[in-house]
Structure 1
Amino acid sequence: MKPSSVINRAGRLWALTGLMLLALNLRAAITGISPMMGDLQATFQLSGVEVSCLATLPVLCLGGFASLAAPMAHRVGTETTIVGALTLLTTGILLRAFPSTVLLFTGTVLAGAGIAVGNVLLPVVVKRHFAARVGSLTGLAMMLMAGSGALAAGLAIPLHDAAGWRSALAVWAVPSLIAALTWGPLAARGRRAHPHVSHTAAARGDSLLRSPLAWAVAGFLGMVSLLFYALMAWLPEIMHDDGFAPTEAGMMVSVIQIISIPLGFAVPVLATRLPTQRPLITGIAVTKAVALFGILLAPRAGWLWIAFLGLATGSAFPLAFTLLSLRSPSAPVAARLSGMAQSGGYLVAALGPLTIGLTHSLTGSWTVPLLLLIALLIPETALGLLAGRPAFVRPAAGRAHG
């Protein structure tokens, strides 16, 4: 075996390790804090408004900072940007462990910013280093994201009871620091291989904003995320009002996340093997509709509808994420499409829990909110069918601004 091939294989193995570590750190810092909201409210003496802001901040950060990822990657390189994102995430996690309300919110913003940039660049890493294995490696990354998120949520209270809230929050800085250190050599190698980072399309000022396909991909991700976060925020309350005990209603959300773990791997693999993703999009929409109508019309069969929701929501996000790679002809375009889709998508998603909550407050029941979620399946499906056709996003040439 030639020395160059050994080096190349070692480099790919290191990049694969880095990809997996990146995926492991893109959910835990968010899901690990949610179960402790009540304790944090008492510890920091937060008002109801402050707690709502703390809960909403991560999703807002995912949208607000996602648009910065592609320009940063263009300027300093993808690998270096990922190191910066993981360093930011580690810093934010540690800041949250200090007994200061200001640092709690500041750390949440920094952690959210790091996760936002990592989210955008994950499909870019897959496209650049493993273009022939987009489905399997996107699926593995999705499975790791879902698994680490579920693990962090499940360990939050046991860690809190065993070591206190500070340790329960700070522990997630360990895997993020390991990931940052792993990406360091990749960043150094990337700078040696590409000392002058430049993407022709970005330099010309080409724009994805004129691409209907790019808007369809972004809109589909946004609607999928909106419905998911709305359900995760309010499903326990909906099921509790339908007669289920609070503990059982809470378990339903956990079951949905558990169901999503194997689907996170299977759906991207299947999506990449199909000539068009439209059958998957149609199947997901029908399954969501059955689940939501079931909760509305036959709530006592709640666990059946939870299984349907787990199948639908557990398939929808991995599919939307896979489309970022499948619709991109190159890694630079994938970075810009990912940034565009996630920036708009998560900002739209942040409106979901708020809108559903306000609608419930105004009507006094869950009937109208559930009908609203069902109605939102129409634009989600329409955008998905547009995004699922076999084509590449083509940036439109624009005037460069100097």
Structure 2
Amino acid sequence: MSAIVASVADITVQQPSVRRVLSGGVLLGVAVVLAAVNLRPAVTSVGSVLDEMRETLGASSTWAGALTTVPGLCFAAAGSTAPWVARRIGLGGAVATALALLTAGLVLRVLDGPLVVLGGTLVATAGIALANVLIPVVVKESFAARVGLMTGLYTGALQAGGALGSAVTPPLDTALGDWRPALASWAALSGLALVVWLAAARGRPSPPVPQGAHGEAGRSLLRNGLAWIVTLFFGFQACLAYIVMGWLPQVLMDAGVSRGDAGLLLGLVSVLGLPVSLVVPPLAARQGSQSWWILGLGASGFAGVTGVMVAPGAAPVLWSILIGIGMSVFSLALTTIALRSRTSHDTARLSGMAQGLGYLLAAAGPFLFGLLHDLTGGWTVPFAMVLTVVAGQLVFGVLAGRPRYL
């Protein structure tokens, strides 16, 4: 567990050689943005064709829950894996490996039955998990003078990629005649990102990053109450996000919404986070407390989830808008990690703990949602569980937003 807590710190303190090798430039900036676009479609593309996959494969809702749980498990494991990979093959090589794993997994998961789908998804999301940790480090190390710009572009690309995955997959399914080629098509985009990344680093080979001293570790954050509050806030908001990305289209289709519209609505949920994420965090960061911002966004998500539970077909666009605004609290979850720590080293340690353990908590959400649907045959009980998750996000988010420090 201590390896997870120290993970981001392990990478951000690596030797200056990485900074020289991956010096900022236009091509590297394009590579970072293109890589970021690929960090969500592998997840969001599944929801709108999940019923077809289950029918073709003869799989249960529990299997579907396991499929939507894999990303969270991989993201949790990345905290300890990413530093190990970066130390041995360098930061640039590690990002290339992440994109190669993503591309291979996207192809592998459409080749056979339920176990192969799970295995391919595991490979693809393992690549995403590595990139989730590594690319922000590239932004910090290679664009020191343009961190704000590159962070905004990176966040926007993440949101855009999530929206593309959910909105474009249904038309691809219709055009190509099956969910397999529709899902496999996303490998072309990740393959392009890999080619551009390799071109950006060409002629500047990245040496292995040595395992040097990581500085003073300080008191373990596992014994820090504020660190656990931030971690639980991050975990609950991530849990809601992965339940929505994995299951919202299926719930809406069961309520009479067409497959294409369900995919577009999930895309709407994803894209709404872009303007909110670009506007709200700078405003919230100027204030001593971020609790009211977190409460407001969380209340919107609670209202949207309640609407889907009570009357999903009555106003699906409104419910999607409310949920999308609520899920944009992700940007404030990242902001509080930085604001609740006084030094960059503590920020890295807190980020490692919050993302590592937080995603582990989030991984249980989609699986439990599918299991409850299997056991009850309906959506009311699973959504009651989701409301509990949102309530937890509200409580720990308000506490995390108070002006205190590690």
Residue 81 of structure 2 is matched in structure 1 by 68
Between stretches 275-284 and 147-156, larger displacement belongs to 275-284
| Alpha-carbon distance change, 332 to 178 in structure 1, aligned in 2, over 3 angstroms | farther
SS at match of 2:222: coil
Q: Check whether the contact 2:104–2:124 (CA below 8 A) recurs between aligned residues.
A: yes
Partners in 2 of 1:17 and 1:87 — Cα distance?
Answer: 17
1:310 maps onto 2:332 in alignment: no
Residue 280 of structure 1 is matched in structure 2 by 293
Residue 170 of structure 1 is matched in structure 2 by 184
1:151 maps onto 2:164 in alignment: yes
Between stretches 286-295 and 120-129, larger displacement belongs to 286-295
| Alpha-carbon distance change, 312 to 195 in structure 1, aligned in 2, over 3 angstroms | closer
| Alpha-carbon distance change, 287 to 35 in structure 1, aligned in 2, over 3 angstroms | closer
| Alpha-carbon distance change, 159 to 375 in structure 1, aligned in 2, over 3 angstroms | closer
Alignment-mate amino acid for residue 190 of structure 2 = S
Alignment-mate amino acid for residue 110 of structure 1 = V
Q: Check whether the contact 1:123–1:325 (CA below 8 A) recurs between aligned residues.
A: no
Q: CA deviation at 1:119?
A: 1.4
Aligned with residue 258 of structure 2, among 222, 226, 247: 247
Residue 101 of structure 2 is matched in structure 1 by 88
Residue 4 of structure 2 is matched in structure 1 by none
Q: CA deviation at 1:316?
A: 1.1
SS at match of 1:246: coil
Partners in 2 of 1:269 and 1:328 — Cα distance?
Answer: 17
Deviation digits for residues 96-121 of structure 1 (CA, Å, limit 9, x no counterpart): 34346554332211101111111123
Partners in 2 of 1:318 and 1:105 — Cα distance?
Answer: 29
Residue 130 of structure 2 is matched in structure 1 by 117
Deviation digits for residues 51-86 of structure 1 (CA, Å, limit 9, x no counterpart): 443343333323334432244335554333222211
5+ residue gaps in structure 2?
1-19
Partners in 1 of 2:48 and 2:252 — Cα distance?
Answer: 18
Residue 231 of structure 2 is matched in structure 1 by 218
SS at match of 1:113: helix
| Alpha-carbon distance change, 20 to 127 in structure 1, aligned in 2, over 3 angstroms | same
Deviation digits for residues 243-296 of structure 1 (CA, Å, limit 9, x no counterpart): x52329835434323322332433344444445433321222332344445566
Partners in 2 of 1:83 and 1:332 — Cα distance?
Answer: 26
Q: CA deviation at 1:190?
A: 7.9
Q: Check whether the contact 1:230–1:352 (CA below 8 A) recurs between aligned residues.
A: yes
Q: Check whether the contact 2:102–2:127 (CA below 8 A) recurs between aligned residues.
A: yes
Q: Check whether the contact 2:21–2:205 (CA below 8 A) recurs between aligned residues.
A: no
Alignment-mate amino acid for residue 176 of structure 1 = S
Alignment-mate amino acid for residue 177 of structure 1 = G
Residue 26 of structure 1 is matched in structure 2 by 39
| Alpha-carbon distance change, 93 to 169 in structure 1, aligned in 2, over 3 angstroms | same
Aligned with residue 265 of structure 1, among 257, 278, 281: 278
| Alpha-carbon distance change, 173 to 355 in structure 1, aligned in 2, over 3 angstroms | closer
SS at match of 1:11: coil
Partners in 1 of 2:397 and 2:186 — Cα distance?
Answer: 35
Alignment-mate amino acid for residue 120 of structure 2 = G
Q: Check whether the contact 2:108–2:117 (CA below 8 A) recurs between aligned residues.
A: yes
Q: CA deviation at 1:91?
A: 1.8
Q: Check whether the contact 1:135–1:322 (CA below 8 A) recurs between aligned residues.
A: no
5+ residue gaps in structure 1?
1-6, 394-402
Partners in 1 of 2:113 and 2:369 — Cα distance?
Answer: 32
Between stretches 179-188 and 138-147, larger displacement belongs to 179-188
Q: CA RMSD in A?
A: 3.9
Alignment-mate amino acid for residue 81 of structure 2 = L
| Alpha-carbon distance change, 324 to 111 in structure 1, aligned in 2, over 3 angstroms | farther
Partners in 2 of 1:157 and 1:236 — Cα distance?
Answer: 11
Q: Check whether the contact 2:236–2:389 (CA below 8 A) recurs between aligned residues.
A: yes
Deviation digits for residues 106-143 of structure 1 (CA, Å, limit 9, x no counterpart): 22111011111111233333333345655553333222
Residue 7 of structure 2 is matched in structure 1 by none
Q: How many residues in Structure 1 have an aligned counterpart in Structure 2?
A: 382
Aligned with residue 137 of structure 1, among 110, 125, 150: 150
Deviation digits for residues 169-217 of structure 1 (CA, Å, limit 9, x no counterpart): 333223323333444454975846x864535238x68744334343233
| Alpha-carbon distance change, 89 to 336 in structure 1, aligned in 2, over 3 angstroms | farther
| Alpha-carbon distance change, 278 to 262 in structure 1, aligned in 2, over 3 angstroms | same
| Alpha-carbon distance change, 281 to 106 in structure 1, aligned in 2, over 3 angstroms | same
Residue 351 of structure 1 is matched in structure 2 by 364
Q: Check whether the contact 2:49–2:170 (CA below 8 A) recurs between aligned residues.
A: yes
| Alpha-carbon distance change, 277 to 69 in structure 1, aligned in 2, over 3 angstroms | farther
Partners in 2 of 1:73 and 1:9 — Cα distance?
Answer: 13
Partners in 2 of 1:367 and 1:47 — Cα distance?
Answer: 18
Partners in 2 of 1:125 and 1:328 — Cα distance?
Answer: 21
SS at match of 1:98: coil
Q: Check whether the contact 1:121–1:338 (CA below 8 A) recurs between aligned residues.
A: no
Q: Check whether the contact 1:120–1:342 (CA below 8 A) recurs between aligned residues.
A: no
Aligned with residue 179 of structure 1, among 171, 180, 193: 193
Between stretches 74-83 and 15-24, larger displacement belongs to 74-83
